[in-house]
Amino acid sequence: MKTTALDAVHRALGATMTDFAGWDMPLRYGSEREEHLAVRERAGLFDLSHMGEITLTGPAAAAALDAALVGNLSALKPGRARYTMICNEAGGILDDLIVYRLADQEFMVVANASNAQTVLDALRERAAGFDAEVRDDRDDCALLAVQGPRAEEIVAPLASDPEAVRALKYYAGLPAEVAGFPVLLARTGYTGEDGFELFVRPEHAEALWAALRAAGEPFGIAPCGLSCRDTLRLEAGMPLYGHELTAALTPFDAGLGRVVKFEKTANEGRFTGREALEKAAEQPPARTLVGLVAEGRRVPRAGFAVVDPADGAVLGEVTSGAPSPTLGKPLAIAYVDAGRAVPGTVLAVDIRGSREPHEVVALPFYKREK
Amino acid sequence: MSNPENLRYSKEHEWLTLAAAGEQATIGITAHAADALGDVVFVQLPEVGAKVAAGEACGELESTKSVSDLYSPASGTVAEVNQAVVDDPALVNSGPFEDGWLFKVTLDQGTDEIADLLTAAQYSELTAD
């Protein structure tokens, strides 16, 4: 199994480790509920070094990405980031991505660990005819995240230019020096809170982690594992590849058609999956992604059937579910037949043979106060 | 984490107090099991008066990541359930051998007569990494 540059740190903290897409990652250090609440109320420190960084450089880097991805990356300003997807010819989602435009001719694509090789292979193939170089930076990049309402107070004073950190907008990233180490500092995250992600060379990861922990101590920062990351993103209604997003679904199926930019002009608007996605855009999907809030205490889990409470007829399927530390109830995200997906409808989830009532709600479950 | 010497253990990670046939044994899950589950958020226990059979599922424990069956380590009749743990499942994590006990069973057979149960030393060996 692959280990991150922070492996020794996790072991010293007594983390419970888990295999995540071939990476030995911290699942939790103590109570995942406490870690979750730390992020909602104060700040959490994450090791996300399993994420896959791929860099594209060259005069045609933007055009190559426009051909390879569904987004319009030519229109992205340097210093900004975009949530986008890479699809196959059939319009199926191969991965969801964040793309940072570091400079006019330099982009960093951040892929999910489980899909990083697929994304790298596809980008290499799709960029082949372009004056652009695709570089695998996975081994040269560790990723730390500070997430939570106190994140700015923790990160800014450590930076050589604290004002630039405070001024950094959501979905923006800039090269910075934090605790003396060169990083790419981005105001992004996967928790529904304000926060930062810091891409750093692996040999600096331990010292940067220590500096962030020390600076976060007065604010109550907690080391946080992947378990709470999953419940945080679930509450925030954010999709997870392999659950809400799969190669069998298009961005339109997932209610994320807005990431598909048919209006882009590079390469005469051509991009992989365009024809299939144009058709998908015309047809309302049979099932839509909704939130479910349990009325009871049993927890709906991924793969459980959503059924009609009256007759048990299958109406959909849970893609993610967990007890919510913030709301104090079990929550789920599910694909449900469009006709039954209206918020306020009471449906049931088949939880190990019993029909447990759940109310349909619009996503997200949780939105932070600005 | 140490497993109390005065208890017996099942391979399904439950513990019970020593008792003779016809007496009540208190049952819970071990610290090892609680730690593996993570934060327990919901406990479903058998009803008082229900018959439980050794090694058979009689309830469930929901944690953040998963749901697990609860097994009774011995056969008998449920005499009492821990309402405090139903109201506050976090007790399973904070005190699995103490406040986090789950239910009491009037045993059909004494714990010394049940061949599959382990001593603390044997259970510690089973759960050693």
Report the pLDDT averaged over residues B21-29: 97
Distance from the B96 Cα atom to the nearest Cα atom in chain A, whole angstroms:
15
Q: What pLDDT digit, counting tens, does each position of A89-144 carry?
A: 999 999 999 999 999 999 999 999 999 999 999 999 999 999 999 999 999 999 99
What pLDDT shows up at residue B115?
A: 87
Q: Which residues of A are annotated as a binding site?
A: 197
What pLDDT shows up at residue B65?
A: 86
Which tokens is A146 given?
A: 């500070």
d(Cα A289, Cα A334) in Å, to the nearest integer?
6
Q: Cis before residue A182, ω within 30 degrees of 0?
A: no
Pairwise CB contact (< 8 Å): A299 & B39: no
| Length of chain A in terms of residues written | 370
What pLDDT shows up at residue B27?
A: 98
Pairwise CB contact (< 8 Å): B64 & A298: no
Pairwise CB contact (< 8 Å): A227 & B41: no
Q: State whether residue A146 sits within 8 Å of chain B by CB.
A: no
List, for chain A, all residue ranges whose pLDDT scores fall below the cut of 70.
none
Q: What pLDDT digit, counting tens, does each position of B35-45 carry?
A: 999 999 999 99
The question of ipTM being above 0.90 is answered as no
- A 13-42: CB under 8 A from B: 16, 27-28, 31-33
Pairwise CB contact (< 8 Å): B64 & A297: no
d(Cα A198, Cα A146) in Å, to the nearest integer?
8
What pLDDT shows up at residue A328?
A: 94
Q: Which residues of A are annotated as a binding site for substrate?
A: 197
Report the pLDDT averaged over residues B88-114: 96
Distance from the A55 Cα atom to the nearest Cα atom in chain B, whole angstroms:
34
- B 27-66: CB under 8 A from A: 35, 38-39, 41-42, 44, 60, 62, 64-66
Q: State whether residue B83 sits within 8 Å of chain A by CB.
A: no
d(Cα A143, Cα A8) in Å, to the nearest integer?
15
Which residues on B lie below 8 Å from A225 (Cβ)? none
Which residues on B lie below 8 Å from A31 (Cβ)? 38-39, 93
End-to-end CA distance of chain B: 12
Q: What pLDDT digit, counting tens, does each position of A6-38 carry?
A: 999 999 999 999 999 999 999 999 999 999 999
Longest CA–CA separation in chain B, Å: 38
Hey, where are the domains in chain B?
A: 8-119
What pLDDT shows up at residue B122?
A: 96
- Chain-centroid distance of CA A346 in Å reads 29
Pairwise CB contact (< 8 Å): B35 & A16: yes
Q: Which residues lie below 8 Å from residue B98, measured CB to CB, with a gap of 6+?
A: none
Residue of A nearest to B66 (CA): A301
Residue of A nearest to B94 (CA): A31
Q: Is A195 helix (H, G, I), strand (E, B) or coil?
A: strand
What pLDDT shows up at residue A8?
A: 98
What pLDDT shows up at residue B1?
A: 60
Pairwise CB contact (< 8 Å): B93 & A31: yes
Which residues on B lie below 8 Å from A299 (Cβ)? 41-42, 62, 67
* Domains of chain A: residue spans and CATH: 7-49+141-235 (3.30.1360.120), 53-121+250-277 (3.30.70.1400), 287-361 (2.40.30.110)
Distance from the A227 Cα atom to the nearest Cα atom in chain B, whole angstroms:
7
Residue with tokens 């709470």: A228
Of B60, B65, B93, the CB nearest to A227: B65
* SS (HEC) of A274-322: HHHHHHHHHCCCCEEEEEEEECCCCCCCCCCEEECCCCCCEEEEEEEEE
Pairwise CB contact (< 8 Å): A32 & B39: yes
What pLDDT shows up at residue A290?
A: 98
What pLDDT shows up at residue B129?
A: 65
| Cβ count near A108 (within 10 Å) | 22
Of B38, B67, B90, the CB nearest to A299: B67
Pairwise CB contact (< 8 Å): A301 & B67: yes
Closest CA to A287 of A335, A245, A243, A321: A335
Report the pLDDT averaged over residues B115-123: 94
Q: Is A342 helix (H, G, I), strand (E, B) or coil?
A: coil
| Contact (Cβ atoms closer than 8 angstroms) between residue A332 and residue A294 | yes
Fold of B8-119: OB fold (Dihydrolipoamide Acetyltransferase, E2P) (2.40.50)
Beta-bridge mates of residue A279: none
| Contact (Cβ atoms closer than 8 angstroms) between residue B60 and residue B68 | yes
Residue B70 has pLDDT above 80, yes or no: yes
Closest CA to A322 of A221, A237, A254: A237
Distance from the A297 Cα atom to the nearest Cα atom in chain B, whole angstroms:
6
Pairwise CB contact (< 8 Å): A323 & B42: yes
User: Is the pTM of the predicted complex or chain greater than 0.90?
Assistant: yes
Report the pLDDT averaged over residues B49-64: 95
